[in-house]
Every structure is written in structure tokens, then in C-alpha cells.
Amino acid sequence: MPRQYPTGFRDEMVRRMLTGEPVLTICSDTGVPEQTLHRWKHQAFIDASLVDGIDSTQSAALRAAHKRIKFLEKELELVKDASPIYDSLAVMDPKEGRCVAVELVTRGHAARSATRAAGVASSSFIKRVKPSPPTDRAIRRLLLTDAVGKIHGDSPGTYGYRRVAATLRIESGLIVNHKLVASIMQELHLHGLPRRRTGRRNLITVRTVSDLLNRDFTATGPNQLWVTDIERHEAFLDQVVMKGHCWMPVAAGI
């Protein structure tokens, strides 16, 4: 693709050539090809009506017209290819628009033109047809997944995420966050021994003993009221212990 130069830069080069500066000197200073400089100079003579030819304004209009004609030709070809596909569908299902777009892409049409003709979103279609390459983070996670599975299998099945992370650091020299290892093991449905408790005991239906002191726990001095849990010793529930020391059963939930 030819390099595009700003209009002001072209005008400056033409001015330097018209003042008598050698073309080779300008070429060595700016890096513009010699043939390009001669073409600019010739076009400047045409614009000044010194030489017969098409001036810059008309040439720009012609370029725009040729670009428009080329676009319309592609659109016509797209319509010709899409028409038989739509004719083969008795009832057009919105979900079949992606299939139409895929077929148009396989016939050589651009993805954006195909999605416009099929009536589907170009962004999601391009992501599915041309998925982005995997990132370094995804590749690293994939490699760690294989390593974590192998270490857990060699344990055998006893290592948790902390021991697996330590093994990666000691044996392979990989500094891996234990949270990442735990996430990978959870994804692979792996766990160490002993397994972490998944819930807490429900004490709603558990029978508790009555409060013998009616929650009166006030004491005027030390060692006047002792509280402990003797809910499993039913023989002591009715006893009051010696010399100002009171034992009270405290059950869970009181």
C-alpha cells in the first residue's frame, strides 16, 4: 500500500522544487522517492494550468467515484449470493441468520457485509467465527491445571490446595498463589484429606435443659457464681454445690 503524505508536506516539497532545489537533495533529506517528487511537481503544473491534464480536484472526485462503484459492485454480488440462500428457507428463523452469515463468509464476502445482509450483530459473530487467541493468563492456568491434577493424583488424593501449592514451589520452583490452586482444584472437583466441613450443625431441633437460675447471673464478689456446661450429666442437674458456689447447667442455645 503506497504511503500517504499530508497535503501541507506535499505543498512544501513542490515549493522547494519550484525554487530550484535539486530533486535528489530533497529525496535524500526527506526520504521521499524521486518518482513521487516528480509526480507531485507535474501535478502542480497541471493545477496551475501550465500543462494539460486532470487537476487535483477532479482526480479526487474520480477516486471517490471509483471507490463508490467498487462498493456497489460488492454489494450487488453479496445480494446475488444471499438471494438463493433466503429462497431456500420457507420461514426465516432469526436464529438461522448466523448460518446465512457463515455461508456468505465462506463464499468470500467480508464478515461485516455478511452480518449486515443476514441481520445479525457483527461483534458477536466475529468473536465466534474468529475467536481471539488465548491470553498468557489462560495458557498459564491450563498448564497449572495439568500440574495440579498430576500432584493430587500422586499424593494419592490426600493433598489439599496448600500442600499442592507448596509442592509446586518446592519441586517445580513455581510461585503460585494458593487461591489460584484452590480455584483449579474446585474446578476439577479435587479435595484433600480431611475434607472441609461444608455446613454447621443445626441446633434448632436439639433438646436443651431448662435454665435453673432464670438467667440471674449477678454476683457481688468473686467466686460466688460458677457457670459450666454439664448438660450430659443428668445426675447433677438438681444439685446446688457447697458454700456459696452455685453450679448451673448451661445448654446450647440459652
**Could you state, in chain order, the average pLDDT of each consecutive group of 10 residues for the chain (254 residues)?**
75 85 84 85 80 74 83 83 71 63 77 77 66 80 91 88 91 88 91 74 68 66 67 49 45 42
Classify residue 192: in a domain, yes or no: no
How far, in Å, CA of 16 to CA of 23, rounded?
9
C-alpha cell at 144: 497449572
Residue pair 152/190 in contact (Cβ under 8 Å)? The answer is yes
Do 230 and 170 fall into the same domain? Answer: no
pLDDT of 197: 67
Dihedrals phi, psi of 101, to nearest 5 degrees: -65, -40
How far, in Å, CA of 160 to CA of 193, rounded?
7
Classify residue 194: in a domain, yes or no: no
Long-range contacts of 203-208 (CB under 8 A, 24+ apart): 203/252, 203/253, 206/252, 206/253, 208/251, 208/252, 208/253, 208/254
Domain coverage including residue 170: 136-187
pTM higher than the cut 0.85: no
- The count of structural domains within the chain is 4
How far, in Å, CA of 12 to CA of 17, rounded?
9
How far, in Å, CA of 208 to CA of 160, rounded?
37
Do 68 and 123 fall into the same domain? Answer: yes
How far, in Å, CA of 134 to CA of 166, rounded?
27
Do 148 and 125 fall into the same domain? Answer: no
pLDDT of 48: 76
pLDDT of 181: 92
Do 84 and 119 fall into the same domain? Answer: yes
C-alpha cell at 113: 457485509
